[in-house]
Structure formats: C-alpha cells, structure tokens
A = this chain, B = another copy of it.
Amino acid sequence: MKRIYLDHAATTPTDPRVVQAMIPYFSDIYGNPSSLHSFGQEARTAVETARNQIASFIMARPEEIVFTSGGAESDNAALKGIAYARREKGNHIITSAIEHHAILETCKFLEKQGFQITYIKVDPNGLVDPYDVKKAITERTILVSIMHANNEIGTIQPISEIGKIAKEAGIYFHTDAVQIFGHAPINVDELHVDLLSASAHKLYGPKGVGVLYIRKGTKFTPFLHGGDQERGRRASTHNVPGIVGFGAAVELAKEGMVQEAEKMTSLRNKLIKGILDSIEDTRLNGDPIKRLPSNANISVAYVEGESMLLYLDMEGIACSTGSACTSSSLEPSHVLTAIGLSHELAHGSLRFSLGKFTSEDEIDYVLDTLPGIIEKLRTMSPLYRKETR
C-alpha cells in the first residue's frame, strides 16, 4: 500500500544526511564534552560547531544558545527560568490561550506556586492582538510568552510587534518557535525576543534535542540543575550526536527552506482548495494567509476526527486531529475551541501537515481518497441527515 505521511507537525523523518553527520559521534568520537582529555575535546568541538551553526541561523551569539532535550524542555525552562529568577520583581506572566501544552501546563504549575497568568484570547483566525498584550501588562508582569506559529492551525503571530511592546515595557519576551524554526528565517533581534524555543525533530533533525535561545544578560534560573554544562544554564552530559544532528539539520534548512516553503504552500493550497471544493460543509481553520506553508487544518461537519484519521490511516494516509478522543482529557483541542469552533466542528477536525518530501501525487491521492471516507462516515453519523437537507 502507498503510505503518505502528512503529519510533519508531529514529527519529521530525520534527513539521511543528518543521520550521516551523527553516526561518527556514537562509537568513534564518543567523549564527554566536559572532559579535558582529547576524547572530550573532540566531542566539545563538535558541540561548539553545532552551536555556531544554530546561533548564526537566528542571528544570535553562540553563548546565547543552550541545548536542551526538546521543545517541551525549552518551554519549561524558559517559563520557570524567568519566573524563579524574577520572582522578587513580580509574579505575573502573560501568554495566549492557544499555546502548546508545554507552555500551558507549565503555567498551571506556576499558578500553584503563586504566579498569576493572563491567557490572551485570539481572534477567529487564531491571531493574538498585540494591543491585548499591551493592555494586560501590569507592574508585576515579568514575562510575556507568545508562540511564533501554532502547531494545530498554523497561524503565525505578529511576534515582532509583541516583542517591541514587551521590550518597551522592560519585560522579558519568550516565543515558542518550535513549529516555524527551520522553515522560515528567524532573526532574534528583529523579533525582539529574549528567549526562543526550538526542537530539532520538527526540521528533519533527531528527536530528543532542542534549543533555548537566551539573550545575553537575561536573568535566568536553571531548570535542570547539576553540572557546569552550558555555562551553568543546563546540566547533563551533552547529547553529542543529537546536537551534531541539530546543527546539520539547521545547515540543510538554511539552504532549502525558502524553496521548500514555496513548494509546500502551493501543494497545501491545492489540498485545501480541493477539499473545500469537493466536500460540502468543510471549513479551513486558522488564518488563510498568516499561516505555516505546511499546515492545512480542516473541520468536517457531522463526522468525528479520530474516525476520519483511522479511515485515512487504513488507506495509508497519516494525519492528526484535534478531536477529544485522542487526548485523555476528553476535551476537544483548546486551540479549536479558542477560535470559536462548536464542539462538533472541533471534534471533526483534521490536520494535514506537509513536508519537504511531500509530492503532488500524494496530495492528489488524498484528494481522491478523502471524499469517499467522509461520505461513509457521514452515512454512519446521526448528525448527518441527507433526507432532511
């Protein structure tokens, strides 16, 4: 059976060139970068090369890059790192209602520790209004954290505007850039961010390695306590192959991302148009323009997401859904709810996320396959009454 992977927002295959770059660092150059001897120093050089690659990619200095175990750790470290470092200054944090769980759950934890969180609402396209951030700032605000691009609906936020507001107010600004990192140019100065999270496996790098950018001079309490690694900002033996892989992935992204984005945008638009045209009672979620080139998030009335996902999987097509049934909370996606979808439409959502290897044939196959599946599931659905329409 044909197998089509359209879930790149969940994770990407590691580019074989990235794997090749990593291989020597498992069994040959295996030292601990913290060791003084030559085995350690060779490994250290590899880590510093990757650090330079990543720093130059976002116009940062190498010493502003902290390696972590992934996007979730970067998010946890950013929020807790500032919260604990700035506690005497204040206890108020501003974020949005549509952040990733790594942000929202960390906020919940911080609320239990006495912090106050403002969750900025978004408009029906999922956009944060920078003016709302400005209004939410109080004397006790220590941090603003707004994601760069949303992982479910792909909406890209006005980060630079929000950053400017935070900067003018003298408040640290963090952005979760996990979804956009490696897919569009990023300049930390132009964005006015003090902290930025990224994860290698979203850009054809390995799973289990991330980055937290921390602007020089930012007060920061480590999240992972222990050794002297990362200038005291993150303990634990470096994941050398993973870090090398992240560096290699960034190098490939530098070269390819602009072209890849163009290609994906046109395929993505074909997919969206094809679905909306051929299947009635469907809608696009997220901003039609300010969105990730890879993202097509569609709600299909009268049918539930997980069942669509499973039927698509039976036809070899992999995607994801914001349906409650995939989470233990039994709540539909907080993002789809935040943009005002009814429960039914939130449950009936599909996210197709394209990758650099996605072909037009694959999109055509989805467009051929999906209508039949929807028809079958609608026939099964008590919400869909052909006769009464």
Contact = CB atoms under 8 A, between A and B. Distances in A.
A30 B3 CA distance: 13
Nearest to A30: B13
* Copies of this chain per assembly: 2
Contacts of A199: 237
Nearest to A31: B11
Contacts of A19: 23, 26-27
Contact of A27 (B16, B71, B224): B16
Contact of A208 (B15, B242, B317): B242
A309 B37 contact: yes
Given A32-B11, A75-B226, A102-B227, A37 B69 contact: no
A71 B209 CA distance: 15
A132 interface: no
A328 interface: yes
Nearest to A235: B72
Contacts of A208: 69, 208-209, 236-239, 241-242
Interface in A5-40: 5, 7, 10-16, 18-19, 23, 26-28, 30-32, 34-40
Contacts of A162: none
A224 B101 contact: no
B69 A225 contact: no
Contacts of A209: 208, 239
A247 interface: no
A124 B72 CA distance: 42
Q: How large, as a class, is the contact surface on chain A?
A: 35 or more
Given A313-B36, A318-B31, A106 B328 contact: no
B227 A101 contact: yes
A73 interface: yes
A108 interface: yes
A35 B209 CA distance: 19
Q: Which of A102, A209, A237 has the most CB of B within 10 A?
A: A237
A175 interface: no
A116 to B, nearest CB: 17
A201 interface: yes
A218 interface: no
Contacts of A312: 37
A346 B14 CA distance: 45
A317 B38 CA distance: 9
Contacts of A15: 27
B76 A207 contact: no
Interface of A: 3, 5, 7, 10-16, 18-19, 23, 26-28, 30-32, 34-40, 68-73, 75-76, 100-102, 105-106, 108-109, 199, 201, 206-209, 221-228, 232, 235-242, 306, 309-310, 312-313, 317-321, 326-328
9 A-B pairs closest in CB distance:
A208-B239, A69-B69, A102-B226, A72-B236, A105-B225, A37-B318, A14-B26, A13-B30, A11-B32
Given A11-B32, A13-B27, A37-B313, 17 more contacts: A5-B31, A10-B31, A10-B237, A15-B27, A31-B318, A36-B320, A37-B312, A40-B318, A69-B236, A69-B239, A70-B236, A72-B224, A102-B227, A108-B225, A109-B222, A207-B242, A228-B328
